[in-house]
Amino acid sequence: MLNRQELTDIISGFVPEAEFPEGKQLLEVIVPAEKLFSLVENLKSDKRTAFNYLINHTAVDFTTHFTVVYHLESTDFRHLVVLKSLIADRENPNIDSLTALYPTAEYFEREVFDLFGIRFNNHPNLKRFFLEDDYGYPLRKDFRDEVNIIER
């Protein structure tokens, strides 16, 4: 198990422009969207970190931008890291898919695509999961559905 400082060092070795916000519950890393895939690839294959388990993947709409969040864990060492990427483009948000690294990412990403409209490059089967194709993206903050959602 590596502590925060060691993980920070390793990650900044892989991606020098990574930011590490202070005062968080877990170790958080903010990486540029285009660097994310290579960072995760390195984190997974590196013997010291071995982040082989994608616990959770989701996105958050901060109205100004989307944040894509990955919770990674190593089942051997049990250390945990939170990776984040900011996507400012609301019209056509896209980021690299992690399906090649984690099979479970395929379905998390489909769900995020369904609910946020974030496109994942190189995704094998990016179709909507729950909703119809012409429905909006309900977890976006600017989503309105006059018929089905009663605002309080």
Partner 1 sequence: MSEEIIKDVIIGENEDYIINMGPQHPSTHGVLRFEVCLKGETVKYLIPHIGYIHRGIEKMCEANTYPQIIHLTDRMDYLSAHMNNEAVCLLVEDALQVEVPERVKYIRTILDELNRIASHQLWWCAFGMDLGALTSFFYGLRDREHILDIFEESFGSRLLHSFVMPGGLMHDVHPNFQKRIKEFITYFRKKLPEYDQLLTGNVIFQNRVKGIGHMSKETAIGYGVTGPSGRGSDYSCDIRKIAPYGAYDKVQFNEILETGCDTWARYKVRMAEMWESLSILEQLVDNIPEGDYTAKMKPIIKLPAGEYFQRVETARGELAVYAVSDGNKSPLRMRFRTPNFSNLFVMNEITAGHKIADLIAISGSLDLVIPDIDR
CA 71 to chain CA mean position, Å: 8
| Strand pairing category for 66-73 and 94-96 | unpaired
Q: Does 56 bind partner 1 (CB under 8 A)?
A: yes
Q: Minimum CB separation from partner 1 for residue 33, in Å?
A: 19
Among the candidate windows 6-14, 29-37, 90-98, 107-115, which touches partner 1 by CB under 8 A? Answer: 107-115
Q: Does 103 bind partner 1 (CB under 8 A)?
A: yes
- Mask for 57-96, x = binds partner 1 (CB under 8 A): -x-xxx------x-x---x--x---x--------------
Q: Identify the bridge partners of residue 66 per DSSP, sorted by sequence position.
A: 61, 87
Q: Which of 52, 86, 94, 119 binds partner 1 (CB under 8 A)?
A: 52
Q: Identify the bridge partners of residue 60 per DSSP, sorted by sequence position.
A: 67
Concatenated DSSP letters of 88-131: --SSS-EEE--TTT-TTHHHHHHHHHHHH--EEET-TT---SSS
Query: Which CB atom, from 15 or from 112, has the smaller least distance to partner 1?
Result: 112
